[in-house]
Structure 1
């Protein structure tokens, strides 16, 4: 049973909480927006790899009185008074995060994954340092050296890629580049790499050249929590992550590290890159960490991967060119070109049918592919038996004549209504 099925028991009157009536009286325009978004989320297939449905308990923490509290600093050392309860919330979040991932230290104040990466760089690097990271065209994140991002402006990034045939990380190329450029840090992580990363191999390469190892585990960290993906904590100097995606918490970031880097990481978050902590979000992170420590979540993480593998196989059977031949994670990337359409056109046609996903760069070639994930659909209760039907809906949406598009949309809506993200 998906965790969100507890919504009715939690006393939730709508998808956004028990105070919806008060919001509608006070601000009907915003209430309409929230109602519309709730309908949109339940009316189609939400397959964006970076999204999920949080539990009613996480929503309750996000809408709690902790949103009122200013709490610059850390537990026991705040710049404002009246922090005894927010201190307790943050300590619980830290305790749960360190236990969940086996880390010495956790900073749970980062506002986002990008904020976490910025703080990691601030803790370990200086402007102008050389950094080795996955190239953007192969799945690297904006914070891995994009010229429009702070990372590309402040540091000298050297990109590594993937093998042209297999689509897998070319670890020998990483080693050669590391020895050639002697980077201060190596970043391992991607926004569209569907296979497990060999953190031990990255650690070995980093040690050979005296580099720090930063793991950007924004996508797989929820699978790590559920025992469905390798844990980067024993290998990386610093692990950056988000608390949403598969982890099924609020939108935000966190940083995990050893005790020797704890003070540097904390000071890099506050006061160097951020001000007051968002205490309602930190409380919601604590709730999510608690949920992720359960056997139910471990089963959920396994189902996410099983669904992704089943969907990847079904898409391949429908004619999509699935990169790396499949997936180890929640994430699938594929080229729809064999169906006569590029990634951007595919995204638009699928969106018109109520199937929401992203495009992504293809490692080799000029076009774009599609990127999707199974975390949200799995939270809703969909399983491997639904995946072939979803793949068939993909094909129907891409090939439907204009007069048939409404029929495909109706099929998508019928499937989504069988698995509501919030019941009650």
Structure 2
């Protein structure tokens, strides 16, 4: 393949991105407000650890980044944070390699309750004994009484809530007094937690918060681990991280640190993300699109699920939306719901979506659901609507 052909492939990808509205909850558009050239950091090894004569490896001419982390710790009510992990699953692997021993017990949020489909495989591959929370499929939540029975009889060493999919932000404060290490993955909730629209997991009794920084929060493709206390647990994890991750990718971290938004900006973003999701769900239901209806008296998430009557119809609906440049997720939904379409508004809000523009978006989705082919009129309506959203 020629270099020119490679360039053309990248240009085509860029064109699709420019003409599309991102409507899945696992991608985002980073905050980029600081015009600072960080290219000099590309490839450099910059530590988070303190340098002294007992350090195993030191590179000259650079300083660690810890002094830049204070604002992030304030947002998350944490005493310490590391940005070493390169992705969310990388954080899972390196954290549990640092924390645990083969044969120790992990009580895990299962995939059928919205847990990440990779986590169980990762933990069992690392040698942990894994048991799952029990699920209330009727209400799309954890079955608390039966899960508590498991905890009391099985006595886990760790509790890990790693929800990558869910309609509600659940209260896990009932595990507060369980005598084990409790870990929460906030990847799908980070901006809402920072904006104080969701309860901070530390306030529920968790000891560690993992998160990717490019899903619910509009940051670079990195991950973080927040520590409620700068204690023995923090030291153990940081010692492990220094073995398993050699470079923190300082260019991405500095982009993250320089573009931390104000509290007001985060609050507006968080609430717009949630309000547009709720309005979109309500309009789609009025249009008889088979959305999984939720109870908005609970704390809802930006996730929205559409479940057509068959896997084939779900896939064809997904392809029609893609043809209209609405980028969603086709996936197997949790809670025994079968295949469906997952929608989220986090990136779309960054692209310009607001409540005023939701009715037109809902009309496109509804028309795509009730047609077998995309005609020119619908294609133009979708193109004009996306352009209007992104223009603002």
Common fold: TM-score over 0.5: yes
The question of 1:270 aligning with 2:250 is answered no
The Cα offsets for residues 256-302 of structure 1, whole Å up to 9 and x where unpaired, read as 1121122112122221x2112211111122124x21x4312211111
Q: Does 1:224 align with 2:193?
A: yes
1:40 to 13, 16, 19: 16
8 A contact 1:138–1:362 mirrored in 2: no
Residue 347 in structure 1 maps to residue 325 in structure 2: no
Gaps of 5+ in 2: none
**C-alpha spacing 1:303/1:232, structure 2 compared with 1 (3 Å):** same
Distance 1:394 1:169 in 2: 31
Asked whether 1:358 is paired with 2:334, we answer no
Report the RMSD for the aligned CA atoms in angstroms: 2.7
What is the aligned partner in structure 2 of residue 308 from structure 1?
Answer: 277
Aligned with residue 245 of structure 1, among 215, 225, 232:
215
Matched residue SS, 2:159: strand
SS at match of 2:356: coil
The alpha-carbon distance between structure 1 residues 413 and 231, as it changes in their structure 2 partners (threshold 3 A), is same
Match of 2:290 among 320, 324, 328: 320
- Confirm or deny: 8 A CA contact 1:143 1:152 kept in the other structure: no
Which whole-Å CA distance do the structure 1 matches of 2:188 and 2:335 have between them? 22
Please report how far the alpha carbon of residue 192 of structure 1 lies from its aligned counterpart in structure 2 after TM superposition. 0.9
Task: Name the structure 2 match of 1:370.
Answer: 341
Instruction: Provide, for residues 341-363 of structure 1, a one-character-per-residue CA deviation record: whole Å limited to 9, x for no partner.
Output: 64433322221221111133333
Rounded to whole Å, the distance in 2 between the matches of 1:33 and 1:95 is: 41
Residue in structure 1 matched with residue 159 of structure 2 by the alignment: 186
The partner residue of 1:130 within 105, 124, 129 is 105
The answer as to 2:137 corresponding to 1:164 is yes
Pair 1:401 & 2:379 matched: no
Contact 2:303 2:344 in 1 (8 A): yes
After TM superposition, list the pairs within 5 Å mapping 1:278-289 onto structure 2. Answer: 278-288=249-259
Tell me, what secondary structure is at the counterpart of 2:176?
helix
TM-score, normalised with respect to structure 2:
0.88
In the TM superposition, what whole-angstrom CA distance separates every residue of 1:153-200 from its partner, at most 9, and x where no partner exists?
Answer: 522221224322221222222212212322111112311112112131
1:69 deviates by 1.0
Q: CA deviation at 1:121?
A: 1.7
Matches of 2:33 and 2:50, distance apart in 1: 23
Equivalent residue runs for 1:68-87 within 5 Å:
68-71=43-46, 74-76=49-51, 79-84=57-62, 87=64
Query: What residue number does 1:201 align with?
Result: 174
Judge which range, 247-256 or 317-326, deviates more.
317-326
Q: Distance in 2 between matches of 1:343 and 1:55?
A: 33
Worse-superposed segment, 236-245 or 68-77: 68-77
Instruction: Tell me how far apart the structure 2 counterparts of residues 195 and 282 of structure 1 sit (CA, whole Å).
Output: 30
1:417 and 2:387 are equivalent in the alignment: yes
Contact 1:187/1:215 (<8 A) preserved: yes
For the residue of structure 1 that corresponds to 2:136, the secondary structure is coil
In the superposition, the TM-score normalised over structure 1's length comes to 0.82
Q: Does 1:52 align with 2:28?
A: yes
Where has structure 1 moved over 4 Å in runs of 4 or more?
27-31, 58-61, 150-153
Residues matched between the structures, number: 382
Q: Contact 1:162–1:363 at 8 Å: present in 2 too?
A: no
**Residue deviations 1:180-221, cap 9 Å, x none?**
3221111123111121121312324xx1xx221110111101
Of 202, 213, 229, 1:233 maps to 202
Shift in alpha-carbon separation, 1:350–1:202, aligned structure 2, 3 A: farther
Distance 1:356 1:52 in 2: 12
State the 1:337 CA deviation: 2.5
